[in-house]
Chain A
Amino acid sequence: MSVELRELYQEVILDHNKRPRNRGKLEEPTSSAEGHNPLCGDNVKVYLQTKDGRVEGIAFEGSGCAISTASASMMTEAIKGKTLDEIEVVFREFQQMVTATGEADEHPDLGDLEVLAGVREYPVRIKCATLPWHTLHAALQGEETKVSTE
């Protein structure tokens, strides 16, 4: 097995895929959004509970590959308790990390999410990693439309 493949499917990712955190529904979300990747059929729904500009609760459900499931799971852990401004910083940093070519820059706000950096070696899989984030973004904006990667 190649180095790139090990980089892509790190233990942390396989673990989040097997035991996703915050998977399920929120009983009374303040907002929610759905995301869809028409190329592979991945679906994700993100539920949010925000209060005074801070995410107090987050959950996701849907079906997807290991990369999208792990990305969603780690995302929920990363943003819980953060303010909307803080989330925006993480979102930008994450996007930059998975789409950047060449050596990785510093990503001080990403924590565990850094394990998803390997995805940039697999261009067709980048959308798997970013789908939950775009869906989160839509939920934060209170957008009604379904997010699509295409």
Chain B
Amino acid sequence: MEAFEGSMNTPTLPRLAVEEIRADFPILSTSVRGNPLVYLDNGSTSQKPRAVIDSQDDYYRASNSNIHRGVHYLSQIATRQYDLARDKVRVFLNARHSKEVIFTAGCTAAINLVAQTWGRANVREGDEILVSTMEHHSNIVSWQLVADQIGAKVIPIPITDAGEIDLEAYELLLSERTRMVGIVHVSNSLGTINPVSLMIEMAHRVGAKVLVDGAQAAPHMRIDVQAMDADFYVLSCHKMFAPTGVGVLYGKENLLNSMPPYQGGGDMIHTVDFGGTTYADLPFKFEAGTPNIAGVIGVGAAIDYLAGLGSQVQPGTGTSLSDQLDASFGWIEQYEADLTRYGMGALAEIPGLRLTGTSKHKAGILAFTLDCAHPHDIGTILDNQGIAIRAGHHCCMPVMTRFGIPATARASLALYNTQEEIDRLVAGVKVVKEMFG
């Protein structure tokens, strides 16, 4: 485990006290089962800063109203907040236009939208859809559904023992039959940061489109959909400090325009007539019905919160949202990389512990198994000490099959986690060993 040895002493890291960040998240100062909470289940969902929590309260108290249809004052305020959030997401992703940002009910809903609209319009019988073995079930099953409807095939891209994409195998799988490639930016079960730019370039060479699942990337790194040339990029906003129930679909404008609508309803139409209905322009074409207005406003608040960290890290940072996010993620990426290295090193020292997902290019996902105890038991015993992790297959059953294990215990980090919390995790795992060893 030489690659993961290291300490937290990184002299180049700009000073930003994690304690200050922790103070922004009310839940982090609570106790669970008599112990201070150690929250290491960020891969499932992140905690919310006060600014996001307050945004929900403020909206319902001061501006609750439906959007895009009221002439009255409150509706105008709500509409403006909603539209501002869309533009913040545009900057967050560095999309070209706000209309390329579609709000959905979640990441899963966003993938299904693409599969059922772009997929059904463009995939033909005998075509192939490649998805990596480390995809979340949502980026596998959504494509299986459309493939079954059409008579196309979903083919897995193999992964290596370290939990990285087998790029040679990927190259061989790509062909003129490949219509779509589904690839996770950061794996939720292994932590691997995939070389998405390269994989997109390779897919484009054979004329395939690429959907990148950014659910686990968004809280940890600066995303640039134009630089990577993604055709589609999807987000799960509750994993990036925003409320549950909102996802984002980014799509290139020409692709989104070429796609038929997904769900029919209010807001997505131009004119409705029994002789034929015409549809609204982007982004409304894909946002039928009253959206999760409060949630979307919360997404805006979460992005503002992240940007605000940038001014703390570098007081001289420019005032643009983009510059601030650059500064924030510069800090987050380095801090989390150090914490991940520390955690991997500390866990690797525990006898009988096996880490799953050992790529050098990885985000803060520490997945492991013990020779003496099942992940479910590890999870319960850690929970008893106030430490929240996830145990199971993490909606990645093909990954478990690939590594020949039924499940893993997974500690997933966020910007507010500390070295002391990793130490408590390690001490907690040692308690498991004492009981089961």
A: residues with CB less than 8 A from B are 1-2, 4-5, 8-9, 14, 17-18, 39-43, 63-67, 69, 122, 125, 128
Contact = CB atoms under 8 A, between A and B. Distances in A.
Contacts of B376: 40, 42, 64-65, 67, 125, 128
B435 interface: yes
Residue of A9, A43, A122 most packed against chain B (CB within 10 A): A9
29 contacts: A2-B384, A5-B381, A8-B380, A9-B381, A9-B435, A14-B435, A18-B436, A40-B391, A40-B393, A40-B407, A41-B393, A41-B397, A41-B400, A41-B406, A41-B407, A42-B376, A42-B406, A43-B406, A64-B374, A64-B406, A65-B374, A65-B376, A65-B377, A66-B373, A66-B374, A67-B376, A122-B380, A125-B376, A128-B376
A66 B407 contact: no
A125 B380 contact: yes
Given A41-B397, A65-B376, A125-B376, A1 B431 contact: yes
Contact of A2 (B34, B375, B406, B407): B34
Q: Report whether over half of chain B's contact residues are helix, strand or loop; otherwise say mixed.
A: helix
Given A2-B384, A8-B380, A40-B393, 11 more contacts: A1-B384, A2-B33, A4-B384, A5-B381, A40-B391, A41-B407, A63-B406, A65-B376, A67-B377, A69-B374, A128-B376
Interface of B: 33-34, 373-377, 380-381, 384, 391-393, 397, 400, 406-407, 431, 435-436
Given A14-B435, A41-B392, A41-B400, A66 B406 contact: no
Contacts, number: 53
Nearest to A69: B374
A7 B377 CA distance: 14
Nearest to A125: B380
Contacts of B391: 40
Contacts of B397: 41
Contacts of A69: 374
Contacts of A1: 384, 431
Contacts of B400: 41
A14 B33 contact: no
Contacts of A40: 375-376, 391-393, 407
A7 to B, nearest CB: 11
A4 B406 CA distance: 26
A77 to B, nearest CB: 21
A122 B382 CA distance: 13
B434 to A, nearest CB: 9
B377 A66 contact: yes
A9 B392 CA distance: 19
Contacts of B393: 40-41
Contacts of B431: 1
Nearest to B372: A18
A42 to B, nearest CB: 7
Contacts of A39: 392
A128 B406 CA distance: 14
Nearest to B33: A2
A68 B384 CA distance: 19
Given A40-B391, A42-B406, A5 B384 contact: yes
Contacts of B34: 2
Nearest to B384: A5
Nearest to A17: B436
Given A8-B380, A67-B377, A122-B380, A14 B392 contact: no
A18 B406 CA distance: 18
Contacts of B381: 5, 9
A11 to B, nearest CB: 10
A42 B392 CA distance: 9
A63 B406 CA distance: 7
B88 to A, nearest CB: 35
A65 B376 CA distance: 6
B102 to A, nearest CB: 30
Nearest to B393: A41
Most chain B Cβ neighbours within 10 Å, of A14, A64, A66, A67? A66
Nearest to B391: A40
B224 to A, nearest CB: 36
A125 B393 CA distance: 16
> Which 9 interchain pairs have the tightest Cβ spacing?
A65-B376, A65-B374, A41-B406, A5-B384, A41-B407, A63-B406, A66-B377, A40-B392, A41-B393
B33 A66 contact: no
A103 B407 CA distance: 33
B436 A14 contact: yes
B104 to A, nearest CB: 25
A18 B407 CA distance: 18
A29 to B, nearest CB: 24
Nearest to B385: A1
Contacts of B380: 5, 8, 122, 125
A108 to B, nearest CB: 29
Which of B34, B400, B407 gathers most chain A CB within 10 Å?
B407
A72 B87 CA distance: 55
Contacts of A17: 436
A69 B393 CA distance: 18
